[in-house]
Amino acid sequence: MKSIRVWDLPVRLFHWLLVLSIVGLFITQELGGNWMEWHARLGFFVIGLILFRLQWGVFGSQHARFVSFVRGPSAVLAYMRDMKNPQTKRYLGHNPIGALSVIAFLLVIGFQAATGLFADDDIMLSGPYAVAVSKEISDLLTKIHKINSNVIIGLVVLHLAAIGFYLLIKRDNLVKPMITGKKSSIDGEFETVLPENARPVWLAWACAIFSMALTYAIATRWFG
């Protein structure tokens, strides 16, 4: 057995910061009142995280890039048909189902953040762009924002179930590599994998700074 570095630090930080942010968003939503101010701040933070991940999915290290793990429908269906087989091919990065999970979370959480910008609960909180649309549209987006939170809960439940399935059935711990960055493998198991192709630290910082600047511009209504 040997350890192979899979997930770089930017990917791992994004993952766990997003997890904590989602938990915080649901808690502040339930608490209501003055906690909604923190709900808004966390929402902007999530926008920054999503913007960073989109950039890192293009410019990041090998296993962070979308082109390295997003696959077509035929590959996904083939993997699903064979996934109960103990001898199913292991992927060093995201497998086809994991890739779908990543894309689904980015789309659904990104959509949630976008609708929040136009939402208005008529009590404590109003998104920065709620005044840029009619009251009818703002109310509709507020309703969609609330409904979509249930979709996020559903995705989280599916994600946790998948982690449990891989741990208990396929004996593949998906959480540990997202903490340590390394995945254990049998010698030669990933022989076709290219070198990690790590990116310099300055590139991650550049993407982070750009994400923060763009998030600030969105929050302060530079675009409307």
Band of residue 190 on the pLDDT scale cut at 50, 70, 90? low
Q: How far apart are CA 69 and CA 113, in angstroms?
A: 25
DSSP letter at 73? Answer: H
pLDDT at 208 over 50: yes
Band of residue 184 on the pLDDT scale cut at 50, 70, 90? confident
The confidence score (pLDDT) of residue 1 equals: 59
Model confidence over 109-163: pLDDT tens digits? Answer: 999 999 999 999 877 788 999 999 999 999 999 999 999 999 999 999 999 999 9
Band of residue 93 on the pLDDT scale cut at 50, 70, 90? confident
pLDDT at 2 over 80: no
Q: Taking all residues of the chain, what is their mean pLDDT, rounded to a whole number? A: 89
CA 138 to mean position of chain CA atoms: 26
The confidence score (pLDDT) of residue 80 equals: 87
Cβ count near 106 (within 10 Å): 17
Q: How far apart are CA 114 and CA 119, in angstroms?
A: 9
- Quote the pTM value: 0.91
Model confidence over 8-64: pLDDT tens digits? Answer: 999 999 999 999 999 999 999 999 888 999 999 999 999 999 999 999 999 999 899
Q: How far apart are CA 214 and CA 83, in angstroms?
A: 40
pLDDT at 191 over 50: no
Name the phi and psi angles at 132, rounded to 5: -85, -10
